[in-house]
Amino acid sequence: ARANPRAADPQACGILAVVNSKLSPDALRLQTLTLQRLVRHRGPDGSGIHVVKTPDGARCSSVAHERLAIVDPLSGNQPLFSHDMKRSLAVNGEIYNHVELRKQLKDTTPFRTGSDCEVIVHAFDEFGVDTASKLDGDFAFVILNDETGEVYAARDPIGINSLYMSTGL
């Protein structure tokens, strides 16, 4: 059996999300930054974090990213955002059909970056929970909906990019 060449390569993006925390936004940002340090080795090209209160204001959620730039190294920093800034995306992966998928989208709002991954957040606006089935590539991602507090997480169907979930933080 041939080994996956990427499996031995620690150079890949790192993503994480904390959902429905009772911490304040500032305290959650600090907690997320602490957790983010655990995946910092995964992406040497940049890092980002987004923290939002749930609609009722009682809880907060965060999404964070450590970046390994493959496509658009100058402007593809994450988290990426929907055109209305109401959904944030952290993704590890590469979307092979991003050019074709951009052409299929009904919304013609210009993309902010040349990143292959930005298509995910725009596709989510159109396809919702069916978005992952439209993607050809190796990926794991988390989308945080700032309006509803909902979180959507998915990975490629083969599992090239792992996605781990835990509770109790």
Residue 68, classed as helix, strand or coil, is: coil
Among 6, 8, 9, 13, the active-site one is 13
Task: Assess whether 13 carries a catalytic annotation.
Answer: yes
Cα separations (Å) of 44 from 36, 49, 65, 130, 147? 13, 15, 11, 31, 31
Q: From CA 41, how far away is CA 36, in angstroms rounded?
A: 10
Active-site residue numbers? 13
